[in-house]
């Protein structure tokens, strides 16, 4: 199975400051169709997960542009340019190319 | 509005069976792959199973192979997860989600809690 490793697992951030989460996969996530199937999800306390980013860097409708995804191959990053209070959540990366699909362990973003 | 609503969770004893349902609305159900994901209390997300448009292709995480069966009824716009021989480690909130495109899921429901305990 593809192992997805996130770091850090806990990220205290000052309001208005940037935050960055790393996600590394144990195998390449580049499909033969040329796409890279790496997703980012946000799960706020007490809520269901919500997709933020798909195919590495495509933001979902309604997702603030302070969220951005980047990376290639096996190394990916989710960045929040200026953290707001509503960004307190656990963030998960997930690969959707190799069965079984797998998630990272989750990174908890909290306000310092 | 695109929506999925899970149901069927509850408290069961070890070794018992349970069937979860997911009712879809607001989109053409038979055009989409569907997935179940679970989350044990206080833990992260775990992909459980996926099924293609017509139910002819199914994929499972190793830990539930032979124990869980994913299925769908396109006429009823419904997704199912038949769970048997339940164990304490199957205790989790179970979410269903839609595949809007290859390699991704969106439109998560609120989840249904399954508790396996004597």
pLDDT in tens, A7-51: 999 999 999 999 999 999 999 999 999 999 999 999 999 999 999
Query: What tokens appear for B76 in the block?
Result: 């009823």
Query: What span, in angstroms and rounded, lies between the C-alpha atoms of A37 and A2?
Result: 13
| Interface residues of chain A, partner chain B, Cβ below 8 Å | 1, 31, 33, 35, 37, 39, 41, 43, 48-51, 54-55, 60, 90, 92, 94, 96-97, 99-106
The pairing of beta strand A107-111 with beta strand A10-13: parallel
- Tens digits of residue pLDDT in B59-112: 999 999 999 999 999 999 999 999 999 999 999 999 999 999 999 999 899 999
DSSP bridge partners of B11: B115
Check B103 against A39: CB less than 8 A apart. yes
Chain B interface, best mutation among A1, A3, A6, A96, by max B CB count within 10 A: A96
* Average pLDDT for chain B: 97
- Name the residue among A100, A106, A105 with its Cα closest to residue A1: A100
- Tens digits of residue pLDDT in A70-112: 999 999 999 999 999 999 999 999 999 999 999 999 999 999 9
Residues on chain A touching B102 (C-beta within 8 angstroms): 31, 33, 35, 37, 96
- Tens digits of residue pLDDT in B12-27: 999 999 999 999 999 9
Pseudo-torsion of CA A87, B34, B36, A90, nearest 10°?
-10
Is the confidence at residue B37, as pLDDT, over 90?
Answer: yes
Query: What tokens appear for B53 in the block?
Result: 């448009």
Q: Give the model's pLDDT for residue A52.
A: 98
Is there a contact between B106 and B86 (Cβ–Cβ < 8 Å)? Answer: no
Distance, in angstroms, between B108 CA and closest chain A CA?
7
DSSP class of residue B63?
G
Q: Give the model's pLDDT for residue B15.
A: 98
Q: Give the model's pLDDT for residue B107.
A: 86
């Amino acid at each position: 199975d593809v192992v997805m490793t996130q770091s850090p697992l806990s990220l205290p951030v000052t309001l208005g400051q940037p935050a960055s989460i790393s996600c590394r996969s144990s195998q390449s996530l580049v499909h033969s169709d040329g796409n890279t199937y790496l997703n980012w999800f946000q799960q706020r306390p007490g809520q269901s997960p919500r997709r933020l980013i798909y195919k590495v860097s495509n933001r979902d409708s309604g997702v603030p542009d302070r969220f951005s995804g980047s990376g290639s191959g096996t190394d990916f990053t989710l960045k929040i340019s200026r953290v707001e209070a509503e960004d307190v959540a656990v963030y998960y990366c997930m690969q959707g190319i190799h069965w079984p699909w797998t998630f990272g362990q989750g990174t908890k973003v909290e306000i310092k | 509005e695109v929506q999925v609503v899970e149901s069927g969770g509850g408290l069961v004893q070890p070794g018992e069976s349970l069937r979860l349902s997911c009712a879809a609305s607001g989109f053409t159900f038979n055009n989409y792959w569907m997935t179940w994901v679970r989350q044990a209390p206080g833990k992260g997300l775990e992909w459980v199973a996926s099924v293609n448009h017509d139910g002819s292709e199914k994929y499972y995480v190793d830990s539930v192979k032979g124990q869980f069966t994913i299925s769908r009824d396109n006429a009823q716009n419904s997704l199912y997860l038949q769970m048997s021989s339940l164990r304490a480690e199957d205790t989790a909130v179970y979410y269903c989600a839609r595949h809007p495109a290859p390699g991704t899921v969106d439109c998560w429901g609120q989840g249904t809690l399954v508790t396996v305990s004597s």
